[in-house]
A and B are shown apart, each in its own frame.
Chain A
């Protein structure tokens, strides 16, 4: 059954719904925020209201929702009613797949609407065996959207929910390593400034949980951030934040001054990379702030913060002065 046959056409409306009286929208007298609805829009929704009044959940009602959603994919009430129809008619694997296809058509190549993505999730949630039946196609669909927009926030959230719901060892591994539908390593290599990909990597390496990484894994991730992210482009904020995130997590689990010093040193070494590219390493504010964060964890007094406040990151002057103050307090408290 083709996707288009799932949708009623405007010129079919009066025939297919000849037994129903279309109900106009009741905005009350002299409303505000009035939209100039095209005739087709008005007619489709007038019949939708008639269907709702009759509380009819049928195949023709479903086909009408497709038309109404084509006209306004953000109408969450129509989406919710569509799901009621689907449940009433029975949601087997075939129907789920057809509706996923329909949703993909309605969404376009780069859907940024909540309802489209939630509908996919709601459909998939109804199915027991996601890994066998929908893993490949769903990951392919998401990867397809990433081709249009590698930072589509909804697509990433959907992928995170999907992977976590399946919660399978091989799937987790594929999200990190190079594979045809893998994400993080490939996307980070394509664009090390793709912060969404870094976020996904964090989530995957933690298997969607909050348990701190084992030390060896943490070091491996910290090295990845430095080597693949910061070294080619020290001005890229994402890998520095990732590095600090990984190390802060270790520090909270159990303070490890040696680890902090080791990576502060590695960060510091990257100043040479900046110099080699012909720039003044002091201007690389992200490198400096990473060093500040790491040094702070071992309560090491430094003057780096003032340098950022006064010269190299002046837009954040108030913040850096606050940090310097706090650090001085912390150091003097320790000494007391």
Chain B
């Protein structure tokens, strides 16, 4: 019987990754010297380092230079490009290298991605959340301003690009050491807040799922991206979070225990994160089949490579460090033996000790990210045979942050001080202090 193609691919991947798992104590002097030159290990010892400056340099090109022609394939994802690079710099403590002018340009670019529309709103009833429908009338249909952020100027509102834009503006508006851009970012969020709410409500469907855009696909990504924006902007009303919203996500949990994009589809890391984070933000994570979910999540960590794969019998990929690692971190919270906090990552902001174990092997993940995912010229990647890109840089670093900060008492892989990143919130994926600041905002 011929060997399974999947097994062959897995064996190839293990072979590809093996040379990166060098035993640093067994290297010859000239090999060590080479690694020191790249910056992967320090001068004095053999603990592995994060190429901080090189990564920041790579990410900064997005606001310092223009992107080459091939990037036309991301022409409908420009807020994403900004978020991936800005959040990564934030985790690397590199925000100090971005000046006011650059920040104001970022806000302005996002403003030009704002896509306003008029929504025809049916007569308001007593059950509606009147505060947000503001001018909506009781007896008649009214036309109200709504909108969202698109992938670029002139592109219609889209849940994912809205998420990326809102997160970027949250990062900028909470950076008070740069008051001019912080004010501008806050002003933009203030301006769009209510119209955004109206658009988000209009994306909700009968099934409880949300559409990604007008006449667009419905899947679990929309549930997450919309809820995340709503929480950060204090718009998570009962109507936005009604029962059917959670029921839709529940219907996406599969026989494997993981979560799929839509009911009946295959459990997949990206959607698992979206489903888990969305349920957590609604305080309804316990409604999922937890043993099945946990069992599936932990089995996504690859025994040899240490990184995560997206689906059963698929290959390791650095981006799943966050999608799967983050989902596991969130799910781990439900195993706390004492009082379960509504948001344990906000409650334990300054103190690293969470009162529940992180259910995946953090040092093994850190090892994969540091040894296999880093490109020695800056930027991070899926696996060694793949080129670096902004998306993989963001999600490898976000996963590294989760591994470092959500694991109480565990010894970190690599140089603990040198590799330490800012603390990302596993649900929102911006720094916890920024989430805290946003949730304190008066609008």
Residues of A in contact with B (beta carbons under 8 Å apart):
25-38, 41, 49, 52, 71-77, 80, 83-84, 114, 117-118, 121-122, 150-151, 153, 156-157, 160-161, 164, 190-196, 199-200, 202-203, 208, 210, 232-233, 236-238, 241-242, 245-246, 248-249, 285, 289, 293, 313-319, 322
Contacts and interface: CB of A to CB of B under 8 A. Distances in A.
A125 B27 CA distance: 61
Nearest to B85: A33
Contact of B312 (A25, A84, A195, A233): A195
Contacts of B6: 191, 193-194
Contacts, number: 205
Contacts of B155: 75-77
A122 B212 CA distance: 14
Interface in B245-271: 251, 254-256, 261-268
B343 interface: no
A114 B112 contact: no
A72 B72 contact: yes
B255 A249 contact: yes
Contact of B7 (A52, A71, A193): A193
Given A71-B72, A80-B214, A30 B108 contact: yes
A76 to B, nearest CB: 6
B299 A33 contact: no
A77 B153 contact: no
A26 B154 contact: yes
A315 B68 CA distance: 41
B299 A76 contact: no
Contacts of B311: 151, 153, 195-196
Nearest to B66: A34
A99 B63 CA distance: 39
A76 B313 contact: no
Contact of B256 (A32, A36, A76, A241): A241
22 contacts: A26-B112, A26-B154, A28-B153, A31-B112, A33-B82, A34-B67, A37-B72, A80-B156, A80-B214, A153-B266, A156-B265, A195-B314, A232-B1, A233-B4, A236-B7, A237-B313, A238-B312, A248-B292, A289-B299, A315-B302, A316-B298, A316-B299
Contact of B62 (A32, A49, A77, A242): A32
Interface stretch (B15-23, B31-39, B357-365): B357-365
A257 B292 CA distance: 19
A249 B254 CA distance: 11
Closest 8 CB pairs of A and B: A193-B6, A245-B255, A199-B266, A34-B66, A32-B63, A195-B312, A319-B298, A31-B109
Nearest to B301: A315
A192 B312 CA distance: 12
B72 A25 contact: no
Contacts of B212: 76, 114
Given A75-B75, A293-B295, A315-B364, 11 more contacts: A33-B67, A34-B67, A77-B155, A117-B217, A118-B216, A150-B5, A157-B265, A160-B265, A316-B301, A319-B295, A322-B359
A35 B71 contact: yes
B217 A35 contact: no
A71 to B, nearest CB: 6
A319 B292 CA distance: 12
B274 to A, nearest CB: 14
Nearest to B306: A315
B25 interface: no
Contacts of A200: 266
A208 B264 contact: yes
Interface residues of B, number: 75
Nearest to A320: B298
B259 to A, nearest CB: 12
B399 interface: no
B240 interface: no
Interface in B108-160: 108-109, 111-112, 150-156, 158
A77 B109 contact: no
Contacts of A153: 261, 265-266, 268, 311
Contacts of B364: 315
A80 B266 contact: no
A199 B266 CA distance: 6
A65 B136 CA distance: 36
Contacts of B314: 151, 195
B154 A49 contact: yes
Contacts of A80: 156, 213-216
A33 B78 contact: yes
Interface in B86-116: 102, 105-106, 108-109, 111-112
B264 A41 contact: no
B313 A195 contact: yes
Contacts of A242: 255
A314 B359 CA distance: 12
B73 interface: yes
A27 B71 contact: no
Contact of B217 (A52, A118, A191): A118
A318 B267 CA distance: 23
B349 interface: no
Contacts of B350: none
A30 B105 contact: yes
A33 B81 CA distance: 7
B294 interface: yes
B442 interface: no
A226 to B, nearest CB: 16
B105 to A, nearest CB: 5
B357 A318 contact: yes
Of B158, B214, B216, the most chain A CB neighbours within 10 A belong to: B216
A72 B359 CA distance: 41
B262 A161 contact: yes
Contacts of A289: 295, 299
Contacts of A32: 62-63, 82, 102, 105-106, 109
B206 to A, nearest CB: 15
A258 to B, nearest CB: 22
Of A33, A160, A238, the most chain B CB neighbours within 10 A belong to: A33
B200 to A, nearest CB: 17
A219 to B, nearest CB: 16
A41 B265 contact: no
Contacts of B262: 157, 160-161
A191 B306 contact: no
A35 B152 CA distance: 11
Nearest to A326: B291
A286 to B, nearest CB: 9
A204 B335 CA distance: 34
A25 to B, nearest CB: 5
